[in-house]
Amino acid sequence: MVEKSATSRVEKLYAVKGMNDILPPDSSQWEWFEEQVRSQMTRHAYRNIRTPIVEPTALFVRGTGETTDIVEKEMYAFEDKLNGEALTMRPENTPGVVRAAIEHNLTYDGGKRLYYMGPMFRHERPQRGRYRQFYQLGAEALGFAGPEVDAELMLLAHQLLSDLGLRGVRVELNSLGVASERHAHRVALIEFFQKHIDVLDEDAKRRLHANPLRILDTKNPTMQKMVQDAPQLLDFLGEASLKHFDTVKTLLSACGVKWNVNPRLVRGLDYYSHTVFEFVTDELGAQGTLCGGGRYDGLFELLGGKPTPAVGWGMGIERVLELLKVQGHSNIVSSPDAYAIIPETAGLHTAMQCLQVLRSEGISVQMHAGTPDGMGSIKSQFKRADASGARFALIFGPDEIAQGVVAVKSLRDGSGAQLTQDLSQPAQWAKSLQSLA
Ligand code: ATP
Ligand code: MG
């Protein structure tokens, strides 16, 4: 206990900048979203994987890539004070999933379809849709080389977003081909950028040889026009890569998903290959990318595993929930079915016994809570019942208890209709409460 003197107050503490509390009623929206995800994943036969939030720093340096924004400047990396280990709070979860798959030889008997949900950490400038702790939903298909799984994953993301009720989300995709094709493109790209060296900013000059693809992704307006005329990777793809890409596009179209090829959509890392894609909205300002993913056939080897093809995506949950709000779908409320009104403390044990049975029968009940002096007036209890959003009140008054009953009073239909039920047999009438208005 901290002693407080009359004059000095104990200093308040606040959440870390860019890290948010998710409070009721917003948390109901989150739970609803998570339920939709679980149901959607089950219908697609994707199974849940849960990996640690803290991983060895080397996992991200190798698996996310040394030249990425994430590794260069966004990681919460620290040294374990007890044993000096270099650790990082995961900024994304694909490397963790692949590490776990290698560690437990998950693909020994064939491909695995996995999904996860959880917090990620990036030291970015906080703004709408961009936080330092944010939540991602991710799906990863490990051990599948065929383009149909790229399409399946994209259809999964598409179906999830449309079943949530979202409209106007665009699907953009591109193909990065294979390493030799990217190499030929890279040579042409560096040559092109060297011809426009005067337009390149400092970042781009630094990346010119380390990661020229990333320059295509520039957010610098003065460079964007020049970048539009840069050689396109699509023009360097061979027959097999084009076929993979065509199959993905054809399957998407066949399943009713519209898409756009965006040649500037790139991932500047060598372990990416073939399909890359984003799901984008224009309704969230600059933070309009809801979901990003692609094929990463080279990542297993980079992390010390056997060559294993893989494809996946990550989706920003805050952005999806924000878009739901913008499009008017944020009315998920979670209210109890019933509110228990208990006028006298003497009625508590009878009431609480009854509530236990109702809850095990699946009824959600909020119990009125009093003070050490008593339960409070009936009027104030009804006020609370009203505020709780419950559909009906269960009244455990002394008269009712004496008669061996509980009164059930409707709160929402305006009728105020009231009936009584047998206190000794709550399991028998519990189910009938569910159909009460
Ligand atoms: P951006 O270009 O917006 O920084 P990114 O390429 O860094 O995105 P990914 O690493 O592909 O994003 O992550 C997948 C998704 O996670 C993004 O499309 C976005 O919806 C979400 N996301 C990424 N960073 C943040 C963040 N700091 N806050 C909230 N959501 C984020
Ligand atoms: Mg980013």
| Tens digit of each residue's pLDDT (9 = 90 or more) over 170-190 | 999 999 999 999 999 999 999
327 Cα to the center of ligand 1, angstroms = 21
- Tell me the β-bridge partners of 235: none
In a domain, 56, yes or no: yes
Count CB-CB contacts under 10 A for residue 282.
9
First to last CA, the chain: 47
Q: CA angle 262-264-269, nearest 5°? A: 120
The answer on 427 and 286 residing in a single domain is no
Of the pLDDT bands very low, low, confident and very high (cuts 50, 70, 90), residue 210 is: confident
**Cα–Cα distance, 304 to 325 (Å, whole number):** 43
Instruction: Tell me which ligand sits closest to the C-alpha of residue 290.
Output: 1
Of the pLDDT bands very low, low, confident and very high (cuts 50, 70, 90), residue 268 is: low
The answer on 122 and 68 residing in a single domain is yes
139 Cα to the center of ligand 1, angstroms = 15
Which are the contacts of 210, defined by CB distance < 8 A and separation ≥ 6? 67
pLDDT at 55: 98
In a domain, 127, yes or no: yes
pLDDT at 67: 84
**Cα–Cα distance, 75 to 69 (Å, whole number):** 9
- Tell me the β-bridge partners of 410: 392
Give the atom of ligand 1 at the shortest distance from the alpha carbon of 70.
7
- Domain boundary (271, 296, 326) is at 326
402 Cα to the center of ligand 1, angstroms = 61
pLDDT at 4: 55
Of 268 and 320, the structure prediction assigns the larger pLDDT to: 320
- 313-349 per-position pLDDT tens digit: 999 999 999 999 999 987 777 899 999 999 999 999 9
The answer on 157 and 110 residing in a single domain is yes
- Out of 150-159, 210-219, 243-252, 301-310, pick the least confident: 210-219
Of the pLDDT bands very low, low, confident and very high (cuts 50, 70, 90), residue 418 is: confident
| Closest C-alpha to ligand 1, atom 29 | 130
> Which residue of 75, 127, 136 sits with most ligand 1 atoms within 8 Å of its CB, as the best mutation to test the pocket?
136
* Residue that is written with structure tokens 């599948």 in the block: 144
**Cα–Cα distance, 137 to 97 (Å, whole number):** 13
- 389-398 per-position pLDDT tens digit: 999 999 999 9
316 Cα to the center of ligand 1, angstroms = 6
In a domain, 10, yes or no: no
The answer on 114 and 45 residing in a single domain is yes
What interhelical angle do 179-195 and 202-210 show, nearest 10?
140
Report the CATH number at residue 363. 3.40.50.800
Q: CA angle 235-236-237, nearest 5°? A: 100
Give the atom of ligand 1 at the shortest distance from the alpha carbon of 289.
18
Report the CATH number at residue 293. 3.30.930.10
The answer on 276 and 377 residing in a single domain is no
The answer on 358 and 286 residing in a single domain is no
The answer on 157 and 99 residing in a single domain is yes
Number of structural domains in the chain: 2
- 341-366 per-position pLDDT tens digit: 999 999 999 999 999 999 999 999 99
In a domain, 17, yes or no: no
278 Cα to the center of ligand 2, angstroms = 13
In a domain, 332, yes or no: no
Q: What does the mean pLDDT of the chain come to?
A: 94
Of the pLDDT bands very low, low, confident and very high (cuts 50, 70, 90), residue 5 is: low
Domain that holds residue 104: 23-177+237-326
Of the pLDDT bands very low, low, confident and very high (cuts 50, 70, 90), residue 286 is: very high
Give the atom of ligand 1 at the shortest distance from the alpha carbon of 124.
27
Q: Are 291 and 86 a contacting pair, CB within 8 Å?
A: no
pLDDT at 98: 98
In the chain, pLDDT over 90 holds for what percent of residues? 85
Which are the contacts of 103, defined by CB distance < 8 A and separation ≥ 6? none
The answer on 267 and 394 residing in a single domain is no
270 has a pLDDT exceeding 80 = no
Mean pLDDT in residue range 97-110: 98
Q: Are 350 and 374 a contacting pair, CB within 8 Å?
A: no
- Tell me the β-bridge partners of 175: 275
DSSP secondary structure string for all residues of 235-264? GG--HHHHHHHHHHHHHHHHTT---EE-TT
Instruction: Tell me which ligand sits closest to the C-alpha of residue 321.
Output: 1
* C-alpha to C-alpha distances, 174 to 78, 90, 151, nearest whole angstrom: 36, 27, 13
pLDDT at 23: 96
Structure tokens at 127: 């703004």
Whether the CA torsion 210, 212, 213, 214 is positive or negative: it is: positive
What interhelical angle do 348-360 and 426-434 show, nearest 10?
60
Mean pLDDT in residue range 99-110: 98
93 Cα to the center of ligand 1, angstroms = 12
* C-alpha to C-alpha distances, 56 to 160, 222, 303, nearest whole angstrom: 32, 38, 12
In a domain, 201, yes or no: no
**Cα–Cα distance, 64 to 288 (Å, whole number):** 22
The answer on 165 and 41 residing in a single domain is yes
In a domain, 251, yes or no: yes
pLDDT at 211: 83
Could you tell me which of 243, 249, 421, 272 has the C-alpha nearest to residue 340? 421
The answer on 366 and 307 residing in a single domain is no
Which amino acid belongs to residue 115?
A: Y
Count CB-CB contacts under 10 A for residue 123.
16
Of the pLDDT bands very low, low, confident and very high (cuts 50, 70, 90), residue 68 is: confident
**Cα–Cα distance, 402 to 322 (Å, whole number):** 52
Give the atom of ligand 1 at the shortest distance from the alpha carbon of 130.
28
Q: Are 110 and 142 a contacting pair, CB within 8 Å?
A: no
In a domain, 333, yes or no: no
Which are the contacts of 246, defined by CB distance < 8 A and separation ≥ 6? none
pLDDT at 6: 60
> Which residue of 174, 213, 289, 317 sits with most ligand 1 atoms within 8 Å of its CB, as the best mutation to test the pocket?
289
**Cα–Cα distance, 279 to 171 (Å, whole number):** 5
- Domain boundary (298, 326, 354) is at 326
**31 membership: H or E segment, kind and range:** helix 26-43
In the chain, pLDDT over 70 holds for what percent of residues? 98
The answer on 72 and 40 residing in a single domain is yes
What's the full length of the chain, in residues?
Answer: 437
Give the atom of ligand 1 at the shortest distance from the alpha carbon of 320.
20
| Closest C-alpha to ligand 1, atom 10 | 92
379 Cα to the center of ligand 2, angstroms = 53
- Domain boundary (291, 326, 361) is at 326
307 Cα to the center of ligand 1, angstroms = 27
- 365-384 per-position pLDDT tens digit: 999 999 999 999 999 999 99
1 has a pLDDT exceeding 60 = no
Which are the contacts of 1, defined by CB distance < 8 A and separation ≥ 6? none
Q: Are 233 and 185 a contacting pair, CB within 8 Å?
A: yes
- 108-160 per-position pLDDT tens digit: 999 999 999 999 999 999 999 999 999 999 999 999 999 999 999 999 999 99
Burial class (CB in 10 A: 0-12, 13-18, 19+), 104: exposed
| Closest C-alpha to ligand 1, atom 2 | 289
- Tell me the β-bridge partners of 424: none
Pocket of ligand 1 (CB under 6 A): 92, 122, 124, 129-131, 134, 136, 287, 289-292, 314-316, 318-319
The answer on 315 and 344 residing in a single domain is no
* C-alpha to C-alpha distances, 345 to 124, 265, 348, 374, 377, nearest whole angstrom: 53, 66, 5, 6, 12
Could you tell me which of 319, 320, 305, 227 has the C-alpha nearest to residue 266? 227
Which stretches does DSSP call E strand in 194-332? 260-261, 273-280, 289-295, 310-316
